Structure 1
Amino acid sequence: MELPRFLMGDNVHYPEDIFVIHLDYPRFIINLKDDSVEFLEEVTKTDKEELEEETKNLIEEASRFYDEQMELYEQ
């Protein structure tokens, strides 16, 4: 099964939060409400340093993904 790169997630216990799940490496969940990121797997120190800039780009991509999804829902 091929999975999409991003998924949206919500939870009734966190009604103000907007979660986007990134399924490629490095897998993480970002809360777009405050841009907090929780990695779903252990990232080594070396990887973390290398991924720092890429993670910033992925956060921007996650925000764009959310905006695109919201536009589609409004149609």
Structure 2
Amino acid sequence: MNLPKYLLADNSNHPEDIFILHTEFPRFLINLKDDEIEWFEDLSGEREDDIASEVSNLIEEASQFYDGEMAKYE
């Protein structure tokens, strides 16, 4: 199966939250409500400056993905 890079997710137990799942390395789930991230990868041993830059880019991409998805509903 070929997964999309980002998936939009919700959960009825958290009706105010908006989740984006990133399916490629480094895999993570971000709550766009508060930008809290749950990592599914162990990033220890990676260079901090590389990780910080990559994480910043991925969060921006996740936000753009969400905005694009919501624009399709309008």
- Taking structure 1 as the reference length, the TM-score comes to 0.90
Pick the structure with more helix per residue: 1
User: Is 1:58 aligned with 2:68?
Assistant: no
* Structure 2 gap segments, 5+ residues each: none
Identify the residue that residue 25 of structure 2 maps to in structure 1.
25
Equivalences, count:
73
* Structure 1 gap segments, 5+ residues each: none
Report runs of 4+ in structure 1 exceeding 4 Å deviation: none
Distance (Å, rounded) in 2 between the aligned partners of 1:45 and 1:34: 27
- For the aligned residue pairs, the C-alpha RMSD in angstroms reads 1.1
Distance (Å, rounded) in 1 between the aligned partners of 2:46 and 2:52: 10
Query: Alpha-carbon deviations, 1:14-62, whole Å to 9, x = none?
Result: 0010000000100000000011111012222325x12211100100000
Q: Higher mean Cα deviation, 37-46 or 13-22? A: 37-46
